[in-house]
């Protein structure tokens, strides 16, 4: 898979992050079933529960455009090692793709490729 368009989109999105409280800027880019890329940044709020992660913002944008099948996601942070999606993001993404390929990258260029199934083997689900 050619990750470079997703990484570039995630890096650009990260530059637009609103993170005045944590100072932890995140950019995420999703490759969708139609080949489009939906990228977003995290947006914090002084009430932490109202903050929205980059991955959830990107998935919401894609879903709002009528797209429901992400093919891959790239996430860019400045963390070492590169930061993986949080639990809320994992639960959101797994709603749409059980074994989503994930590439996490930091601003130094360190990379880790994994899958959603690998990092989230037992997601929450409703009975029935």
Residue 69 neighbours by CB under 8 Å, 6+ apart: 32, 33, 96, 97
The two beta strands, 37-41 and 27-32, are antiparallel
Active-site positions read 55
CB 114 within 8 A of CB 72: no
Residue 49 neighbours by CB under 8 Å, 6+ apart: none
């Amino acid at each position: 898979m050619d990750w470079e368009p997703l990484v570039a989109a995630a890096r650009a999105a990260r530059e637009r992050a609103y993170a005045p409280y944590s100072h932890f800027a995140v950019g995420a880019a999703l490759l969708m079933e139609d080949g489009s890329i939906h990228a977003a940044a995290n947006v914090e709020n002084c009430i932490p529960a109202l903050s929205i992660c980059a991955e959830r913002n990107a998935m919401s944008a894609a879903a709002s455009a009528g797209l429901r099948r992400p093919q891959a996601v790239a996430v860019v942070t400045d963390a070492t090692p590169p930061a993986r999606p949080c639990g809320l993001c994992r639960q959101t993404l797994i709603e749409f793709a059980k074994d989503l390929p994930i590439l996490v990258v930091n601003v130094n260029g360190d990379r880790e490729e994994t899958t959603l199934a690998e990092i989230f083997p037992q997601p929450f689900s409703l009975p029935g």
